[in-house]
Amino acid sequence: MGKTDWTQLWLTYHRVFEGNCTWETVLEGFAASDAVVSNALSEFKRGMDSIGCDSDSMTLKITKSDAVPAEGYSIKGDDNGILLEASDERGLLYGVFAILRQTACGKRAAEVNETASPSNPLRMMNHWDNMDGSIERGYSGESFFFENEEIVINDRTVDYARFMASIGINGVVINNVNVKGAASYLITDRYFDKLKELSEIFEGYGIKLYMSLNFASPIEIGGMDTCDPLDSNVISWWEKKIKEVYENLPGLGGFLVKADSEGRPGPFTYGRTQADGANMLADVIAPYGGIIIWRCFVYNCTQDWRDTKTDRARAGYDYFKDLDGAYHDNVILQIKNGPMDFQIREPVSPLLGGLTKTNQMLEVQAAQEYTGHQIDLCYLIPLFKEVLDFHTHCAPGKDTVADVVSGRTMGNRLGGMAAVINTGNDMNWTGDDLAAANTYGFGRLSFNTDLTAEEIAREWIRQTLNLPAKEEDILCSMLLRSREIYERYTSPLGIGWMVTPNGHYGPSVDGYEYSRWGTYHRADHLGIGVDRTDKGTGYAQQYYPENAKLYNDPHTCPEELLLFFHHIPYTWELKTGKTLIQHIYDSHFLGEEEARGLASDWDSIKDAVPEEIYTRVKERFDLQLDNAREWRDQVNSYFYRKSGIADEKGRTIY
């Protein structure tokens, strides 16, 4: 593979200004020899050489200033050039990317102006890459980190690090949370040399390397017969192991752990708590400054569908809330945005802000596992923003999820946001070229949670495609509408699922209805939905009283979540005056129609986008239309057959 074979995503650096100019760089207080500084300066040159300039000669002056917060920057242009102030190397790097972003978006040097510092201490990507090269829930080729159980390092690795740095990412977990086989050996000398090389490339871009860890390592690679976190031999094994790891990988950030979940081993096997497991590892890694990110995706995945008392939505809170305050300082609990699993619409997990004495991190999924596999267009930033803006009511005045995970609520040092990333080794990295807006958007949003979904969309479009204003408006509107369109033709009003089992693309209304996964819609001939009120599973009561009360009553429950919280008759009248069943029919007909609208909008900007991109995306829209049609007809037919109630508008239902 040559260096230019893959796309440069939003770092394409289109020509914006006619002229070229020479940039003189002046460094004050920073060392040009530092890897981050020198990478930043080459990026600046590379970008400016391509973007062009509106003047002959300019100066980029970079000054170290303790007045700027950690990892932050201040950039200000005038007719002679740009002044960049930062207090550390990462801030300098982000400042350079900010200048490039602004100029690529059309600002003259004199107009460059921004002061920013990250909203979140940790801004991470989680790769679900396996060492055989496959990617769990990957929709854009294979892994670019692993192939045949080896670590791959090439020019692409460096480009990946550039992309991540340009959007403010400062931590990357390279391997799948389901740690099996060869991946268990990432903490052995089989892989140290390559990992060190990788970690040094990352460090040059301000990124820390993290790995997912197998909790049963003492058994699987240590030959022991237990991994009980309170067993002194197990603890000594880990002490030796982590010492060895840090001797070889001094820059390692720490580990991400999926324990007691979906067949993964964990402390429960030994009658220990999640805190016992997390704290043991955290204590062992503390002397090296490492952290343990412990996932809260713990639930019973062998549920009997006949059992209506067990509620998967409750599980996270039930397992973790009682231990609030018991987790050590270098543990962060990583919590999925919703209590189920990355559905197109879910309430916000009550654990976020429900925990008040524990470091917390928000986990979202940029990979479109349940949102269209990077075939269907689904710009997820509006969803991520809804989660960040949600008022948990955990503390007056600083109770949003953004407040909680950033550390503002509790004054804690560790927290932030992580995304399950949507990249692979496809030449355009994300399969669907438009899905890169989610990769870009997650990074930007984690750096600045105040940005709007539209601002992010426009930045991404300008840098990636540099379209004329009219075409930019069309594409921006497509992105902004796409999530609700996807929602309309798939599962209604927060109920989720109804997807083809295992693969999770396309409809299968009862696909998970009689299974062990805890994901039921409970539809019968009279109604649909899960009673999660105080008369049902009691899930609604896991929220603070303000939200609990709102969700508990079907008259006050936000309608987009109605079926998540309530079992509702088909004849129930919604706020629009429509019955529930009519809403289901109407939204599915509308969603399918709007999907066709998206496809024709794309056709309408054909001439403004590179042909290759046009064609790749067009192929996906063709598939999306089949998918939307299938969803529409299966969901409508299913509920017509269950309810026996005809569509008021007499449209075709099968």
Give the residue numbers marked as catalytic: 262, 341, 369
Give least dist CB 128 to ligand GCW, A: 5
Angle of helix 436-447 relative to helix 381-389, nearest 10 degrees? Answer: 30
CB of 336 to ligand GCW, least distance (A): 7
C-alpha angle with apex 436: 128 to 298, nearest 5 degrees? 30
CB 364 within 8 A of CB 441: no
Alpha-helix residue ranges (DSSP H) falling in 122-259 = 155-166, 192-203, 217-220, 232-248
For 389-431, give the secondary structure using H, E and C. HCECCCCCCCCEHHHHHHCCCCCCCCCEEEEECCCCCCCCCCC
Residue reference for tokens 């140290």: 192
By CB under 6 A, tell whether 137 contacts ligand GCW. Answer: yes
Residue type (1 letter), 212: S
Quick one: 108 or 137, whose CB is closer to ligand GCW? 137
- The residue at minimum Cβ distance from ligand GCW is 341
C-alpha to C-alpha distance for 551 and 540, rounded to whole angstroms: 6
Strand ranges across the sheet with 113-116: 22-28, 57-64, 81-86, 73-78, 113-116
Does 127 bind ligand GCW (CB under 6 A)? Our answer is: no
177 lies in the binding site for ligand GCW (CB under 6 A): yes
Q: In the set 73, 128, 139, 505, which binds ligand GCW (CB under 6 A)? A: 128
Residue 563 · residue 574 · CB < 8 Å: no
Nearer to ligand GCW, 6 or 146 (CB): 146
Closest distance of CB 37 from ligand GCW, Å: 37
Q: Does 297 bind ligand GCW (CB under 6 A)?
A: yes
CB of 136 to ligand GCW, least distance (A): 5
- Which residues within the stretch 433-462 sit at the binding site for ligand GCW (CB under 6 A)? none
Give min distance, CB of 341 to ligand GCW, in A: 4
- Strand 291-295, strand 254-257: pairing: parallel
- Identify the CA nearest to 537 among candidates 308, 306, 351: 308
Shortest CB 614 distance to ligand GCW, Å: 32
Q: How far is the CB of 369 from ligand GCW (least distance, A)?
A: 6
Q: Which residue stretch of 172-180, 227-235, 344-352, 425-433 sits at the interface with ligand GCW (rule: CB under 6 A)?
A: 172-180
**Do 298 and 306 meet the contact criterion of CB atoms below 8 Å apart?**
no
Kindly determine how many residues on this chain lie close enough to bind ligand GCW according to the rule CB under 6 A. 12
Site string for ligand GCW, 512-551 (x = CB under 6 A): ----------------------------------------
Spatial separation of the C-alpha atoms in residues 466 and 513, rounded to whole Å: 46
Q: Which is nearer to ligand GCW, 178 or 477 (CB)?
A: 178
| CA nearest to 370, candidates 510, 530, 483 | 483
Nearer to ligand GCW, 129 or 433 (CB): 129
| CB closer to ligand GCW, 367 vs 475 | 367
Question: Among 341, 403, 432, 592, which residue sits at the site for ligand GCW (rule: CB under 6 A)?
Answer: 341
Collapsing DSSP to helix, strand or coil, 73 comes out as: strand
Piece in contact with ligand GCW (CB under 6 A), picked from 170-178, 445-453, 588-596, 599-607: 170-178
| Residue with Cβ nearer ligand GCW (517 or 570) | 517
Angstrom distance (rounded) from CA 508 to CA 520: 12
φ, ψ for residue 378 (rounded to 5)?
-155, 95
Over the window 232 to 271, marking each residue x when it contacts ligand GCW by CB under 6 A and - when it does not, the resulting string is --------------------------x---x---------
Q: Which stretch binds ligand GCW (CB under 6 A): 173-181, 225-233, 470-478, 643-651?
A: 173-181
Least distance to ligand GCW, CB of residue 367, Å: 9
DSSP-derived 3-state class of residue 210: strand
Question: Any contact of residue 634 with ligand GCW (CB under 6 A)?
Answer: no
Identify residues 355-384 at the interface with ligand GCW (CB under 6 A): 369
Distant-in-sequence contacts of 605-610, Cβ < 8 A, 24+ apart: 605/467, 605/471, 605/474, 605/475, 608/465, 608/467, 608/468, 608/471, 609/465, 609/467, 609/471, 610/465
In angstroms, what is the minimal distance from the CB of 456 to ligand GCW?
25
For ligand GCW, which is the closer residue by CB, 299 or 565?
A: 299
Q: Which part of the chain contacts ligand GCW (CB under 6 A), choosing from 175-183, 479-487, 553-561, 646-654?
A: 175-183
The two structure tokens encoding residue 41: 């300066």
**Stretch of 93-101, 176-184, 465-473, 613-621 lying at the interface with ligand GCW (CB under 6 A):** 176-184
Q: Considering beta carbons, is residue 115 or 178 the nearer one to ligand GCW?
A: 178
CA angle at residue 168 from 348 to 471, to 5 degrees? 80
The dihedral sign for the CA sequence 242, 243, 249, 253: positive
Among 55, 59, 115, 178, binds ligand GCW (CB under 6 A): 178
Contact residues toward ligand GCW (CB under 6 A) are 128, 136-137, 176-178, 258, 262, 297, 341-342, 369
